[in-house]
Structure 1
Amino acid sequence: MLLSQTSGDGAGRAALIVIDMLNTYEHEDADVLVRSVREALPGIGALLGRARDAGAPVVYVNDNFGLWRSHHGEILEAALAGRYRDLVEPVAPDEESLFVVKARHSVFYETPLAYLLGQLGVRRVVLCGQVTEQCVLYSALDAHIRHLDVVVALDAVAHIDAGLAEAALRMMERNMAAELLRSGEITFDGVPPG
């Protein structure tokens, strides 16, 4: 169960969903995104540690870079071989992490994630990663329409456009009933923040 300082009853098991953090940063917005990712890394690292310590599911959902033969090993290798290895290594999956490959913005779109979460008994998803105004937003919407409780870790998401990211966060909170919390306010199965 997910507990937070400001959450409701915390019913249901929580999973940490790490969105698109295995990234080669070889796109036109990379320079702007990299600055925001650096700011988000400590929060993502804290959530990963807390979720792993609690035995909560940690699911990496990542773009396949358009390479349909990709699997998580290839995606991780490509990201580590890129010019921003230092942004990938601290948040790389461990051997217990689960992995889902996606091709579009939402972590749910034509992926087995909903089925996987159902099998794990997950009712709440904690979203972190990139990009707030794109993949995080669409993933939060798809989680909401699947009747999952959504938590977005404010200091563990990265953006390209700060204004759009702020608007996206407001939409997630208002239209999708998402809880917007800092990583230090989020715990998994009673493992305290910090």
Structure 2
Amino acid sequence: MAGTALIVIDMINTYEHEDADALVDSVRSCLPGVGTVLRRARAGDSPVIYVNDNFGLWRSHHGEILQAALAGKHSELVEPVAPDEDSLFVVKARHSAFFETPLAYLLGQLGAERVVLCGQVTEQCVLYSALDAYIRHLDVVVAADAVAHIDPGLAEAALRMMDRNMSADIRPSYDITFNARPPG
């Protein structure tokens, strides 16, 4: 059976951008779902990969990004889902977790043929990452209760698009199974 990786998109966030006020309540609502998929992935010995914006700080590494987010005005949204010592981290500059990042290569090295997506924002970064995973022939699962949105209508449309156009499996976090990496 192919390996599964959890991709946590943009949850390490300073919330210092123009859409932050519209996003915060949705992030708060999705935190339990994100926590569920994190626990399930770790219990299943599946890789957990945080893919995150770097806030335009091109010298940043994941420690600096995490510290900036924890020092931000909504650290309570970051702290419960912060990476642990076994988590992997990929920095991105644009919407898709795959665009000009080493994520596809990393997934190949890990033997992952299935990705579970959670994070923010459903109608932007999650949608574009799902599309890029799909065109790379990866099986895509989206944890519907572990994604946050800015616009509820666009988020619902994005989930329908991922289901219909990308054959994504849209399901609640508690119904997602993880399996260990294939033997290497």
User: Which runs of structure 2 are paired with 1:42-191 in the superposition (5 Å)?
Assistant: 42-189=32-179
Number of aligned residue pairs: 180
| Shift in Å, 1:189 | 2.1
Mapped partners of 2:179, 2:10: distance in 1 = 25
Mapped partners of 2:174, 2:83: distance in 1 = 21
Mapped partners of 2:139, 2:13: distance in 1 = 27
Is 2:24 the counterpart of 1:29? no
Runs of 4+ in 1 over 6 A off after TM superposition: none
Mapped partners of 2:26, 2:50: distance in 1 = 19
For structure 2, list consecutive stretches of 5 or more residues without a partner in the other structure.
Answer: none
Sequence identity (%): 77
Structure 1 counterpart of 2:30, from 30, 40, 49: 40
Scaled by the length of structure 1, the TM-score of the pair is 0.91
* Deviation by residue 1:63-110 (Cα, 9 ceiling, x = unmatched): 000111010000000000001010000000000000000000000000
- How large is the RMSD of aligned CA atoms in angstroms? 0.8
Instruction: In structure 1, give the amino acid aligned to 2:140.
Output: V
For structure 1, list consecutive stretches of 5 or more residues without a partner in the other structure.
Answer: 1-10
